[in-house]
Amino acid sequence: TTILGANPNVGVTLPNLAANATHLIAFQVLINDPFSQQSITNQSNTTYTIQPDPGQPPITETSTSNIVITNFVQAQLTITKTSNPITVDIGGTILYISEVKNSGNVDAINIIFTDSIPVGTTFVLDSVTINGVLQPDANPENGIPIGKIPPNSSKTILFQVQTNNPPTETEIVNQSSVTYQYISIPTAPPVNRSANSNIVTTSLQNANIISVKSADVTFVSIGQFITYTNTLQNIGTVPANNTVFIDNIPEGTIFIEDSLSINNVIQPGTNPENGVTLGTIQPDETVTISFQVQLTNIPEDNTVINISDTSYEYQIDPSSPIIQRRSLSNTVNTEVRTANVSAIKSANRSITRIGQIITYTIAVTNAGTVPITNTLLIDAIAAGTTFVPDSILVDGIPRPNENPSTGISLNIILPNNTIIVTFQVNVDSIPSQNNMNNIAVIHYEYQPDQSLPPISETTSSNTTNIQFIDAILIATKSANTVLANIDETIEYTVLIQNNGSTTTNSIFFTDIIEDGTVFISGSVTVNNTVLPAADPNIGFSIPNITSGQVATITFQVSVTNLPAANPTPNTANIVYDFIFNPDFAPIQKSTTSNTTFVQINDADIVSLKTVDLTSVT
């Protein structure tokens, strides 16, 4: 029968006990100081009264039991944990040391050592040792069997972890534990026990700069600006010193001078490509850097790519060495949406002369990333030429009734496409400066942002320069009289002017003397120089005439009789050549002067009388 509230330490009142009867008293104790003594001794005392003579008072007596001794058997493990170092950097290694000691009096068996890898760290493979012996492939997080530990013995377990980069914690907390068994009664099952170590804390000290980059646009076209903004935040626990920000200017762009600012303060003359000194950035401090670039040409893959690189130094404590670190920003990609139009113009001739046809070819290329629309090619016809009607071809297809002077419609040109335009002109007059310069102009639109109106732009081709090389002789003939009598002298003058661009050579002058007159020998002069043997009937050579110069030829004839054709005509003929291309033979040409007329009169008087009436009254 259970006696509630009874405590043998203060006494337990029992019912009366009849003669030859027995009380069985049982109670339990809890061992709370196991190793204050190796055994537990227990003895009980019973105080009672008897009354042998009912007429006499009861007699009080005490009965002391025998002594029982209980031997104490237990394995008790304790774990003492330390870490090295107590302060660590990003990516640093922490060595954990756990000493597992058996302070009991029997072997601790089937011991399993477990240690959860701390948050913010990564276990270093093959770093576990037990009493200095490497344990390949062992991982404390999975549990490590360490066998048995006899009384008053210990085992030391070591392993390493590495702090993560980027860090996720500022303090690394760790605790290990063991489970084990021991046998207290050989005939009974083993006793299961567990133990935890003390908690160790390692402080993570570092300067950790997080670099975040952004751009103010997601796409850009040629000529537009991009503003880059870079925030540098020290999320570490110590200052970042000697901080230098470097940002290489992206391909296809140029840096805008004096556009760089630090925390909205302009830094004149500072270029991020050369490095920007920022000094010290304190923990939790943020520095903002902004600058601008302008897109000048299309980079590879049609993307402007930008990333920054920030270097800095720090010490985790004053006695530790200086640590150098770099922080790369995220990559910012800006899509290029632009029309990059070029027009390359060529001609089938580099030199020309009157009467030749010139074929012009214009290759219009959209090397951009978006289509161009409403494309119009305008080409003003060069001075000295006239357009050959219906000579326009666009990608080989005729364009009748179009004229380059008023515009050739090319409509849409897709990215990376080229349209070939050809047309012809006829060289029909002498250009000024003896050069035919010609340029094509391309008007077009493109729309990088579909939510905004199209952008109108114009681009020009290269200039084609065709040299005009021609010798053009103009012969102007005159006579010193328009009336002449028989036996009188007529003097003819021929002015030969070179209106061309080059010297005329091998000039041969011929002037056939007409009926009614005869050439007066020795009367020929060329530029006031007499040519005694020259006869215009058979022709004679005259000196070369350079461009813009005039040769003057004179000769005389005598009137001998009335010509059959009166007035008598006279015309000069000139044959000459000039060098058009030094690699080829000279080109021969001829010209004829205007015709002069001189009325020849006879000195004999013939009288012929007429009357207006045949009869009178």
Residue 10 CB coordination number (10 Å): 6
Lowest-confidence region among 30-44, 107-121, 266-280, 462-476: 30-44
Rounded-to-integer distance, Cα 345 and Cα 521, Å: 59
CA 456 to chain centre: 25
Residue 444 token pair: 């077009």
Residue 346 token pair: 């060529």
| Beta strands at 573-578 and 587-592: parallel, antiparallel or unpaired | antiparallel
Residue 120 token pair: 């913010």
Lowest-confidence region among 33-42, 205-214, 512-521, 543-552: 33-42
Whether 142 and 128 have beta carbons less than 8 Å apart is answered as: no
Longest Cα separation, the chain: 237
Region 443-460: mean pLDDT is 93
Whether 240 and 327 have beta carbons less than 8 Å apart is answered as: no
pLDDT band at 449 (very low <50, low <70, confident <90, very high): confident
Rounded-to-integer distance, Cα 518 and Cα 498, Å: 29
- Phi, psi of 173, rounded to the nearest 5 degrees: -110, 135
What residues does 286 pair with on adjacent strands?
233
Q: What is the pTM of this model?
A: 0.59
Residue 295 has pLDDT above 80, yes or no: yes
Whether 85 and 94 have beta carbons less than 8 Å apart is answered as: yes
Residue 360 CB coordination number (10 Å): 25
Predicted local confidence at residue 12, as pLDDT: 87
Residue 601 token pair: 């009169």
Residues 304-328 pLDDT 10s:
999 999 999 999 888 889 999 999 9
Predicted local confidence at residue 451, as pLDDT: 87
Rounded-to-integer distance, Cα 489 and Cα 502, Å: 37
Residue 261 token pair: 């600012």
CA 185 to chain centre: 79
Rounded-to-integer distance, Cα 130 and Cα 157, Å: 5
Domains and CATH numbers, the chain: 1-72 (no CATH), 77-204 (2.60.40.1530), 209-336 (2.60.40.740), 341-468 (2.60.40.740), 473-601 (2.60.40.740)
Q: Hunting for tokens 């461009």 — which residue is that? A: 547
Could you say which DSSP state residue 403 is in?
B
Residue 171 has pLDDT above 80, yes or no: yes
Residue 606 has pLDDT above 50, yes or no: no
Lowest-confidence region among 81-95, 557-571, 596-610: 596-610
Residue 2 token pair: 């259970």
- The CA-based angle 273-276-279, given to 5 degrees, is 155
Rounded-to-integer distance, Cα 600 and Cα 254, Å: 86
Which run of H or of E encompasses 445?
Answer: strand 440-446
Residues in the chain, overall count: 617
Name the nearest CA neighbour of 214 among 270, 290, 309.
Answer: 290
Residue 37 has pLDDT above 60, yes or no: no
pLDDT band at 617 (very low <50, low <70, confident <90, very high): very low
Region 564-587: mean pLDDT is 93
Region 201-220: mean pLDDT is 93
- Start-to-end C-alpha separation, the chain: 206
Rounded-to-integer distance, Cα 139 and Cα 127, Å: 9
Q: Rounded mean pLDDT of the chain?
A: 92
Residues 349-403 pLDDT 10s:
999 999 999 999 999 999 989 999 999 999 999 999 999 999 999 999 999 999 9
Residue 201 token pair: 């804390």
Residue 349 token pair: 């001739």
Predicted local confidence at residue 605, as pLDDT: 44
Residue 249 token pair: 């200017």
Residue 590 has pLDDT above 80, yes or no: yes
Residue 19 has pLDDT above 70, yes or no: yes
pLDDT above 90 as % of the chain: 73
Whether 237 and 205 have beta carbons less than 8 Å apart is answered as: yes
- The CA-based angle 607-608-611, given to 5 degrees, is 135
User: Distances in Å between the alpha carbon of 78 and those of 38, 96, 183, 305, 346?
Assistant: 19, 16, 18, 59, 94
Whether 155 and 146 have beta carbons less than 8 Å apart is answered as: yes
Predicted local confidence at residue 166, as pLDDT: 66
Residue 325 token pair: 């670190």
Rounded-to-integer distance, Cα 76 and Cα 290, Å: 65
Residue 199 has pLDDT above 70, yes or no: yes
Establish whether the linkage from the previous residue to 52 is cis, with ω within 30° of 0: no
pLDDT band at 609 (very low <50, low <70, confident <90, very high): very low
CA 524 to chain centre: 80
Region 593-610: mean pLDDT is 72
Could you say which DSSP state residue 382 is in?
P
Which run of H or of E encompasses 464?
Answer: strand 464-468
Rounded-to-integer distance, Cα 195 and Cα 197, Å: 7
Rounded-to-integer distance, Cα 380 and Cα 55, Å: 159
Rounded-to-integer distance, Cα 299 and Cα 251, Å: 6
Predicted local confidence at residue 51, as pLDDT: 83
Establish whether the linkage from the previous residue to 85 is cis, with ω within 30° of 0: yes
Residue 391 token pair: 């000579």
Scored b (16 or more CB within 10 A) or e, 289-306 reads: bbbbbbbeebbeebbbeb
Whether 195 and 99 have beta carbons less than 8 Å apart is answered as: no
Region 233-237: mean pLDDT is 93
Residue 615 has pLDDT above 90, yes or no: no
pLDDT above 70 as % of the chain: 96
User: Distances in Å between the alpha carbon of 158 and those of 33, 131, 136, 545?
Assistant: 31, 8, 13, 109
Whether 211 and 307 have beta carbons less than 8 Å apart is answered as: no
Rounded-to-integer distance, Cα 423 and Cα 389, Å: 9
Whether 88 and 203 have beta carbons less than 8 Å apart is answered as: yes
In the chain, the amino acid numbered 264 is N
- Phi, psi of 296, rounded to the nearest 5 degrees: -110, -25
- Residue 318 gets the label, from left (phi > 0), alpha (psi -120 to 50) or beta, of alpha
Whether 113 and 176 have beta carbons less than 8 Å apart is answered as: yes
